[in-house]
């Protein structure tokens, strides 16, 4: 993937544009520097497959970039700063809006679970929007440590966006980051929460049935949605999570039923990836999204 620069809104020199967002909104006393190298590590890992992009990929049923050559650009990493939450949100929001305005699909690599807040805000032009959050936690806190834009508040802030009409949350388990009051607030808003246990017992079809045909969907994947045996390189590894095929089947199901308008991958911690296999899993997921967009036929971001 080469370097890509957006010049004029409305012109799309790429169909899909990737960018890194190393920092979101920090909490006092919690280190967010563990994500600083995430996007670059995944870029380096993806380079291993550079000579194979024209080969048949059985996960997507064809070459990675499709038969017509899906154009993928890379903005590189935004110049976020560890302790500048407001500045980081402005950068992420602006980059996302520019990509959508250029008619491309934004694909963001975070960063902690606060970076989707400005990413989802920046998708305003795609509304009405359905959010599919694949995560171990529901993230409906009003605030934590007096910060309303941190990683425990992602879906709470998303629920306040006028262009978000539906939130579907999949993979919750364990303590799930919520107290009873947040569960009630999410339910009152209309969020649909499907636990990891439900996915294991009933599969993904009941989830896909909740997505209206033709809807525009933003998929956000927190890597702690995966079972801890597959993805220990996160801040909160938890047993009982989803497997790779369940997650990719969900994404493929969205693309088949609706429109995949945006995607982000967050919460991968390179320093906890002892042998590099977690980076391979994360890169494979990114490649699957790109290949799915290529196979589905690109329709533009705006």
Task: Confirm whether 3 is domain-assigned.
Answer: no
What are the φ and ψ backbone dihedral angles of 48, each rounded to 5 degrees? -60, -30
Question: For the whole model, what pTM was predicted?
Answer: 0.94
Q: Which residues contact 213 (CB under 8 A, 6 or more apart)?
A: 257, 258
Task: Confirm whether 95 is domain-assigned.
Answer: yes
Task: Confirm whether 154 is domain-assigned.
Answer: yes
- Residue 53: band (very low, low, confident or very high) from pLDDT cuts 50, 70, 90: confident
For β-strands 56-57 and 62-63, DSSP reports them as: antiparallel
Task: Confirm whether 233 is domain-assigned.
Answer: yes
HEC sequence for 124-145: HHHCCEEEEEECCCCCCCCCEC
Please state, in angstroms and rounded to a whole number, the distance separating the CA atoms of residues 79 and 154. 21
Q: Please, is 112 exposed, middle or buried when counting C-beta atoms within 10 Å of its C-beta (0-12, 13-18, 19+)?
A: buried
Range of the domain at 253: 16-296
What's the start-to-end Cα distance of the chain, in Å? Answer: 23
Task: Confirm whether 22 is domain-assigned.
Answer: yes
pLDDT digits (tens, 9 = 90+) for 70-83: 999 999 999 999 99
Domain of 99: which CATH number? 3.40.800.10
Over residues 290-295, the mean pLDDT reads 95
Task: Confirm whether 5 is domain-assigned.
Answer: no
Over residues 253-266, the mean pLDDT reads 97
Task: Confirm whether 302 is domain-assigned.
Answer: no
Over residues 157-170, the mean pLDDT reads 98
The number of distinct structural domains making up the chain is: 1
- Residue 297: band (very low, low, confident or very high) from pLDDT cuts 50, 70, 90: low
Q: Angle at Cα 251 formed by Cα 250 and Cα 257, nearest 5°?
A: 85
Task: Confirm whether 143 is domain-assigned.
Answer: yes
Q: Angle at Cα 113 formed by Cα 108 and Cα 115, nearest 5°?
A: 45
Please tell me whether the peptide bond between 145 and the residue prior to it is cis, using omega within 30 degrees of 0: no
- Cβ atoms of 230 and 241 closer than 8 Å: yes
Over residues 268-295, the mean pLDDT reads 97
């Amino acid at each position: 993937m080469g370097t890509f620069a957006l010049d004029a809104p409305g012109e799309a020199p790429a169909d899909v544009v990737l960018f890194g967002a190393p920092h979101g909104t920090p909490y006092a006393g919690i280190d967010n520097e563990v994500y600083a190298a995430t996007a670059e590590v995944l870029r380096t890992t993806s380079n291993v497959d550079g000579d194979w992009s024209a080969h048949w990929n059985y996960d997507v049923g064809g070459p990675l970039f499709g038969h017509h050559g899906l154009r993928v650009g890379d903005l590189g990493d935004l110049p976020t700063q560890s302790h500048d939450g407001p500045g980081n949100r402005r950068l992420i929001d602006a980059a996302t809006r520019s990509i959508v305005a250029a008619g491309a699909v934004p694909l963001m690599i975070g960063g902690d679970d606060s970076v989707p807040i400005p990413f989802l805000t920046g998708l305003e032009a795609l509304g009405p929007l359905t959010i599919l959050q694949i995560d171990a936690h529901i993230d409906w806190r009003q605030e934590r440590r007096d910060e309303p834009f941190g990683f425990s508040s992602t879906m709470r802030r998303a629920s306040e966006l006028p262009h978000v009409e539906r939130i579907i949350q999949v993979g919750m388990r364990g303590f799930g980051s919520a107290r009873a009051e947040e569960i009630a607030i999410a339910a009152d808003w209309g969020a649909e929460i499907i636990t990891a246990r439900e996915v294991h017992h009933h599969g993904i079809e009941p989830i896909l049935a909740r997505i209206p045909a033709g809807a525009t969907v933003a998929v956000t994947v927190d890597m702690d949605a995966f079972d801890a045996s597959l993805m220990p390189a996160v801040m909160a590894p938890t047993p009982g999570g989803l497997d790779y095929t369940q997650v990719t089947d969900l994404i493929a199901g969205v693309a088949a039923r609706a429109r995949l308008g945006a995607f982000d991958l967050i919460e991968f911690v390179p320093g906890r990836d002892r042998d590099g296999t977690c980076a391979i899993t994360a890169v494979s997921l990114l490649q699957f999204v790109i290949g799915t967009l290529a196979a589905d036929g690109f329709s533009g971001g705006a």
